[in-house]
Amino acid sequence: MTNSKLIAYLGPPGTYSQRAVTQYFGKTPSGHYEYVPLNTIADCFTAVQDGTAAYVVVPFSNSSNGPVKFTYDLLRTTEPRPSIIGETQVKVEHYILAAPATLQRIEQGGEDAVRTVYSHPQVWGQCTQYLTSHFSNAARISVDSTAYAATLAEKDENAVAIASIAAADVFHVEVYAAEVQDNQDNYTRFLVLERYVNGAERTELDQSVDMELVRWDRVTAA
Ligand SMILES: O=C(O)C(=O)Cc1ccccc1
């Protein structure tokens, strides 16, 4: 057990994970709990395992392109594996966000003015159609979260980020293109984790996630 009153998620504010956390626990959590953004999915696992956080919310799988690899690997390797006590699905709509100066450069020089596209690795496979016809000469740089990508685009006149519209409320970036995901019905399943208490019975959700991990092992071994 832990006395922590923190609920951690992959930050900074403006990520899809933040949406998941407020969807599950409410806009402001009850019972004196507080939300805390962490830098990586691995940090979320560490926080719940060492008791720094009472709960963490992590992305698990996506309807368009399957497993969130970091989470699958951490669920396999964290000993003992945290208990999975809840889940929530978030509709994922991606936006191209850029600093105002970048938008001006695109207006003057076309999309070739953009040298870099920043986003979370999960995103590339969800926006293949858009990325085939736009920014095809730009380098794709994977970073820890979509909102972190927005912070990089905020400071870089040659870059855009693919992120949630929520990131545009938090950082000084504007919308260049809306809803650029291939599939309009694009959902990510998030899991709510709590520290495993020795001897506790595994929940039904734990078992369904086990099955999913085994199924994925078979797919990748084939
Ligand atoms: O980076 C984020 O915003 C996340 O929460 C991870 C993620 C990335 C892409 C789709 C869904 C979740």
> Distance between CA 30 and CA 26 in Å, rounded?
8
Q: How confident is the model at residue 221 (pLDDT cuts 50, 70, 90)?
A: confident
Q: What is the mean pLDDT of residues 96-114?
A: 97
> Distance between CA 214 and CA 108 in Å, rounded?
51
Q: How confident is the model at residue 49 (pLDDT cuts 50, 70, 90)?
A: very high
* Structural domains of the chain sorted by starting position, each given as residue range(s) with its CATH number in brackets: 6-92+186-221 (3.40.190.10), 95-177 (3.40.190.10)
How many Cβ atoms are within 10 Å of 200's Cβ, its own excluded? 12
Q: What is the mean pLDDT of residues 154-180?
A: 98
**91-102 pLDDT per residue, tens:** 999 999 999 999
Active site residues: 188, 190
**59-99 pLDDT per residue, tens:** 999 998 889 999 999 999 999 999 999 999 999 999 999 99
- How far does the centroid of ligand 1 lie from the alpha carbon of residue 198, in Å? 31
Q: Does the pLDDT of residue 1 top 90, yes or no?
A: no
How long a stretch of residues is the chain? 222
- How far does the centroid of ligand 1 lie from the alpha carbon of residue 203, in Å? 25
Q: Which numbered atom of ligand 1 lies nearest the CA of 145?
A: 1
Q: How confident is the model at residue 220, as a pLDDT?
A: 83
Residues with CB under 6 A from ligand 1: 10, 15-17, 59, 92, 120, 122-123, 145-147, 188
Question: Whole-number mean pLDDT of the chain?
Answer: 95
Name the closest-CA residue to atom 3, ligand 1: 15
Closest C-alpha to 22, from 63, 55, 60: 55
- How far does the centroid of ligand 1 lie from the alpha carbon of residue 126, in Å? 11
Give exposure, 13-28, as e/b (b: 16+ Cβ within 10 Å): ebbbbbbbbbebbeee
- How far does the centroid of ligand 1 lie from the alpha carbon of residue 37, in Å? 13
Q: Which numbered atom of ligand 1 lies nearest the CA of 17?
A: 5
Q: How confident is the model at residue 133, as a pLDDT?
A: 96
Q: Which numbered atom of ligand 1 lies nearest the CA of 144?
A: 1
Residue 60 sits at φ, ψ, to 5 deg, of: -115, -55
- How far does the centroid of ligand 1 lie from the alpha carbon of residue 122, in Å? 7
Closest C-alpha to 94, from 48, 183, 162: 162
Q: Which numbered atom of ligand 1 lies nearest the CA of 122?
A: 9
Q: How confident is the model at residue 172, as a pLDDT?
A: 98
Whole-complex ipTM: 0.97
For ligand 1, pick from 9, 10, 16, 144 the residue to mutate: most ligand atoms within 8 Å of CB. Answer: 16
Q: What is the mean pLDDT of residues 190-206?
A: 92
